[in-house]
A and B are shown apart, each in its own frame.
Chain A
Amino acid sequence: MNNESTPLLSVQDLGKDYGGQIGCTDVSFDLWPGEVLGIVGESGSGKTTLLNCLSAQFAPSRGAVIYDTRVEGQRDIFDMSESERRLLMRTDWGLVRQNPRDGLRLGVSAGANVGERLMAIGARNYGEIRAVACEWLEKVEIDTGRIDDQPSTFSGGMQQRLQIARNLVTNPRLMFMDEPTGGLDVSVQARLLDLLRGLVTRLGLSAIIVTHDLAVARLLAHRLMVMKNGRVVEQGLTDQVLDDPQHAYTQLLVSSILQP
């Protein structure tokens, strides 16, 4: 369907300043359909700022983010009108936040959370919305008997999976994930990673994952970008970067992993 020769997302010299401070600067890369890109780096290295600019949460100070839309082909997301951009964000994109409480609507049931995007794009049949919600709860391994429970009664891992289901319900092509496994214990993390890996392969999603956990990056990402002080210091295939780090900071990062 998609032209194989155009990247899904093309980022050119992107930069974001906070007053005199640099959030991130001189970031350029292409993301191809079906590719998972990991962004790693220490706290304060500009990972989340970059993700927020890419996902149009912030307006960048410089540069362009060009997305290959389904209908009109390549468009700079910051040249779109706000209504076009918001429609894109809730249909073709997904955004999974570190804290599921930021990404979920906590006052309403799990089913309503999953159905919200459908209703936002005009679904008006209760039975159908509910059937789709059930389907997605199954796909993310949440018991469908809990469809009418509030997400606040769910465990952290379930909330995170519910957040993923809520984003995937409109069949997006691009997912942004900010520390999707942060705050979860190791066994729950493993299940979530397994699920994510399965979903990404099965649905042919592209994803940009911000993480400080190199193990997560190795499992999920095809390609890795290492950031420090708002700049990309090294990028390449995940195995290549992790097994043969070139930049001094990447070498430090890789050697800091605890070996149990």
Chain B
Amino acid sequence: MNMSQSQEQADIVEGYNFAYLDEQTKRMIRRAILKAVAVPGYQVPFGSREMPLPYGWGTGGIQVTAGVIGADDTLKVIDQGADDTTNAVSIRRFFARTTGVATTERTKDATIIQTRHRIPERALSEGQILVYQVPIPEALRWLEPRETETRKMHALEEYGVMHVKLYEDIARFGRIATSYDYPVVVNDRYLMRPSPIPKFDNPKMDNMPALQLFGAGREKRIYAIPPYTKVKSLDFEDHPFEIQKWDDCCALCGAKDSYLDEVVMDDEGGRMFVCSDTDYCEDRRTEGHIGPMGTPLAAE
């Protein structure tokens, strides 16, 4: 269909079940996902399996993706917004070789998007699934070390201590300095860690038409936000939640509304800001937007 789809077409490896995991395991994961969707933001324990990559590299996300992927799905994998980093390329190739599904780099063509650390800039639509890789699912973890106690706190909705952390931020830095993995309350009930996405992406989670699934492999937890669910970032009345802002625009596509990465160019302090979402940047350049350091895409 298009370039990015055909160039990634890999051979299917023999001897593995569809999507690597056996059917019983996938059923177990699907049961956990169903429960997670039914109780938005609640962390459902599941029997996390050993995957052919180390913990911390996305084992939770991979298992969730393996649980929901079907032969007619189109998969996109991003890492820090980019489709072409090592982690994204290997996970995409893993599923291409174990399932034979089509893969893509285009957000709007994908039915499943597995992500680490970002939500795509382009608004997601109904029918799409966003799968997050989660290192630490427990929002109260650094405030309360006991697992029995944190579960009780979730059960009794005792979340005051989370505000103690935000208070401490303001007392120390004059503002809420937490900039990623910013705590949210889902559906006015459960406190949830959105995985280490920048707080820039938090507003996108609110009322999103797509289904959002979260998998933590090492911690053996799955949680979810169903489509069109209220997601509120915690704040104080006199210190409301704010997202990051930049003085610059993207050097390649000129976007002012996207999350920018700072790239150091030389030893003289030269730097540029570029969109962290590579697909969004490319789309804009194809449409003819050019930033201060960009060249028209057609000339390449």
Interface residues of A (CB under 8 A from B): 82-83, 86, 105, 108-109, 111-112, 115-117, 119-122, 124-127, 129-130, 147-148
Check A148 against B156 for contact (C-beta < 8 Å): no
**Residue of A whose beta carbon sits closest to that of B170:** A126
Check A129 against B156 for contact (C-beta < 8 Å): no
Name 8 extra pairs, CB < 8 A, besides A109-B171, A119-B160, A124-B236. Answer: A83-B156, A105-B164, A108-B164, A112-B167, A119-B163, A120-B161, A121-B160, A124-B163
Check A125 against B164 for contact (C-beta < 8 Å): no
**Residue of A whose beta carbon sits closest to that of B167:** A112
Chain B 150-191 residues near chain A, CB threshold 8 A = 152, 156, 158, 160-161, 163-165, 167-168, 170-172
Whether A125 touches B238, Cβ cut-off 8 Å, given contacts A111-B171, A119-B167, is: yes
Whether A115 touches B237, Cβ cut-off 8 Å, given contacts A86-B158, A120-B158, A121-B160, is: no
B128 to chain A, nearest CB (A): 34
B188 to chain A, nearest CB (A): 13
Q: Which residues of A contact B238 (CB under 8 A)?
A: 125-127
Check B168 against A112 for contact (C-beta < 8 Å): yes
B2 to chain A, nearest CB (A): 49
**Residue of B whose beta carbon sits closest to that of A113:** B164
Whether A126 touches B167, Cβ cut-off 8 Å, given contacts A83-B156, A86-B156, is: yes
Task: Report Cα–Cα, A75/B67, bound state, in Å.
Answer: 50
Which secondary structure dominates chain B's binding surface?
Answer: helix
Interface flag for B239 (CB, 8 Å): yes
Q: Which residues of A contact B152 (CB under 8 A)?
A: 82
Interface residues of B (CB under 8 A from A): 152, 156, 158, 160-161, 163-165, 167-168, 170-172, 235-239
Check B164 against A126 for contact (C-beta < 8 Å): no
Task: Show 11 residue pairs from A and B whose CB-CB distance is below 8 angstroms, ordered by the A residue.
Answer: A82-B152, A83-B156, A105-B164, A108-B165, A108-B168, A115-B167, A116-B160, A119-B160, A119-B167, A124-B237, A147-B171
A254 to chain B, nearest CB (A): 43
Q: Which residues of B contact A147 (CB under 8 A)?
A: 171
Contact of A109 among B156, B168, B235, B236 (CB under 8 A): B168
Q: Which residues of A contact B235 (CB under 8 A)?
A: 124
Check A148 against B160 for contact (C-beta < 8 Å): no
Q: Which residues of A contact B165 (CB under 8 A)?
A: 108
B158 to chain A, nearest CB (A): 7
B62 to chain A, nearest CB (A): 34
